[in-house]
Amino acid sequence: MALAGARSGERDLLEEIYSKEDIDNDDVTRVIAVLERLGVRQNCEEQVNAHLERATAQLATLPFSERGREEMNGLIDYLARRKK
């Protein structure tokens, strides 16, 4: 995903770092900077939101009690928003 929108220099940098056996903190910082410039986080968040909407819509069609539906919606939201 990131490589598709990367400019030549960015693509070379990502390929160089990802091909290393070991990476250091500077490598991580540079990769994060490139991914942020490419909008990777925003794109991923948009995809998560789309999946969240579909999951919520599907849940509405299943025969759960109101409490069960609320708990499942909470679980879906937690899984979509967790940081790790």
3-state secondary structure the chain: CHHHHCCHHHHHHHHHHHCCCCCCHHHHHHHHHHHHHCCHHHHHHHHHHHHHHHHHHHHHCCCCCHHHHHHHHHHHHHHHHCCC
Res 1 pLDDT > 60: no
| pLDDT exceeds 90 at position 81 | no
What pTM does this model have? 0.67
pLDDT band at 84 (very low <50, low <70, confident <90, very high): low
What is the pLDDT of the chain when averaged over all its residues? 89
Q: What pLDDT shows up at residue 77? A: 86
Query: pLDDT tens digits for 26-65?
Result: 999 999 999 999 999 899 989 988 998 998 899 889 999 9
